[in-house]
Amino acid sequence: MDEFTEALIARVRAARTGVAEAVAAHDSYAVSLAVDELEDALRLARDNGVEVPSADADRAAMEQERG
């Protein structure tokens, strides 16, 4: 996997985390911003042919890394 692909996937993961944190904080403005960032990151990945793991697959991989 090249650096560009890794960076895009990291951006999507960070955006997903941002959405979850904003929802947990009950901050509708932050949710709106976080969703916009997630949509931008996913669009950029799609436009560049980068397959992004599903949110469930990401969650499972992160749990596995934590041990």
Q: What is the pLDDT of residues 4-49, one digit of tens each?
A: 999 999 999 999 999 999 999 999 999 999 999 999 999 999 999 9
Q: How high is the pLDDT of residue 45? A: 96
Half-sphere exposure of 8 (CA within 13 A, CB side): 19
Give the global pTM: 0.85
Q: How high is the pLDDT of residue 4? A: 94
Do 35 and 23 meet the contact criterion of CB atoms below 8 Å apart? no
Q: How high is the pLDDT of residue 25? A: 98
- With 0-12 CB in 10 A as exposed, 13-18 as middle and 19+ as buried, what is 20? middle
Average pLDDT over residues 44-64: 87
